[in-house]
Amino acid sequence: MILDNLTIIFATVIVSLISMLGLLVLFVREKIMHKILWVLIAFSAGTILGTAYLELLPEALELVGSSEAFIYITIGFVSFFFLERYIYWSHGHSHEIEDAKSALDSRMTRNFAYLNVIGDGIHNFVDGMIIATSFLIDFKVGLAATIAVIFHELPQELGDYGILIYSGFKRNQALIINFMAALTVVLGGVFAIIFLEAVEALSGLLLAFSAGGFIYLAASELIPELQEEKRLSQSLIQFAIFILGIIMIWSLGLFFYE
C-alpha cells in the first residue's frame, strides 16, 4: 500500500510539473505551437477514449457490476459536462491561446483569469482523484489514466498560461499561479488515498465515474476539435494519431497483463 501511495504521489507531481511547459507560449512561434497542439489533441483524444473503454470501464464492471457501473458512468459524463460548461467555461484547446488574445482585446479583466484558474484547479483535483483511484485498483490502469491525463493537460496548460499572460500578468507571476492550480492534482490524489482507505468499496464506482468523464472529454470536447480540420490529408494524419493513442493504451494493457 505504501508503494502504491508513493506511485500516486509521483504520478500526480509529474502531471503538476506539466504546467511549467506554459513557457513554450512565449518562446515558440505561433505557427509551430499550432502544429504541436494539433498533434497533442489528436493523441489526447485517442489515449483518453482508450483509457475509458479499455481500462477504466472493464475494471469498473468487474468491481461493481453493469447496473451500478453504467449509472455512475452517466453521472460522470454529466458531471464533466457541468464542470466544463458552467465552471471551467473558458476551457478550450487548439483555440485557447487565440481566445486569450481576443478576450484581452475585449478588455478582459484579471477576474476572468482568476476564474479560469479556479476552474482549472477544480478540474485538476478531479484528475488527481482519477489517477489515485486507478493506481489503487491496478498499476496498468493507473499508468493508462496518468498518460491520458498528461496528454490532456499539455494543450490545456499551454492555453491557461497564455490566458494569464494576455490578462496582464508578468511571466513569473503567470508561471507561479498556473503551477499552484496544477498542484491541486496532487491534492486530489492525496484526498483519494485517504478517502479510499476509509471507504474502499467506492473505488469501482469512482472508476465508472471517471470512465464517464473521460468519454465526455474525448467525444464532446477533443474529437469535435479534430473535426474542424477540412483538409483530407491532414484529417487522415490526425485520425492516424488518434488511433495511435488508442493502440498505445491497449498495448499497455497487454504489457502489464497478469
Q: What is the pLDDT of residues 182-207, one digit of tens each?
A: 899 999 999 988 887 665 667 788 88
Give the pLDDT score at 178. Answer: 83
Percent over 90 (pLDDT), the chain: 14
Q: Is the pLDDT of residue 152 over 60?
A: yes
Q: What is the mean pLDDT of residues 158-186?
A: 80
Give the pLDDT score at 104. Answer: 42
The residues, any chain, with a CB within 8 Å of residue 5's CB and separated by 6 or more, are 193
Check residues 34 and 70 and name the one with the higher pLDDT: 70
Q: Mean pLDDT: which of 169-173, 195-199, 211-215 is highest?
A: 211-215
Q: What is the pLDDT of residues 91-137, one digit of tens each?
A: 444 444 444 444 444 444 566 677 677 777 878 888 898 899 888 88
Overall pTM surpassing 0.75 (yes/no):
no
**Candidate from 14-23, 126-135, 195-204, 240-249 with smallest mean pLDDT:** 195-204
Check residues 223 and 168 and name the one with the higher pLDDT: 223
Check residues 87 and 203 and name the one with the higher pLDDT: 203
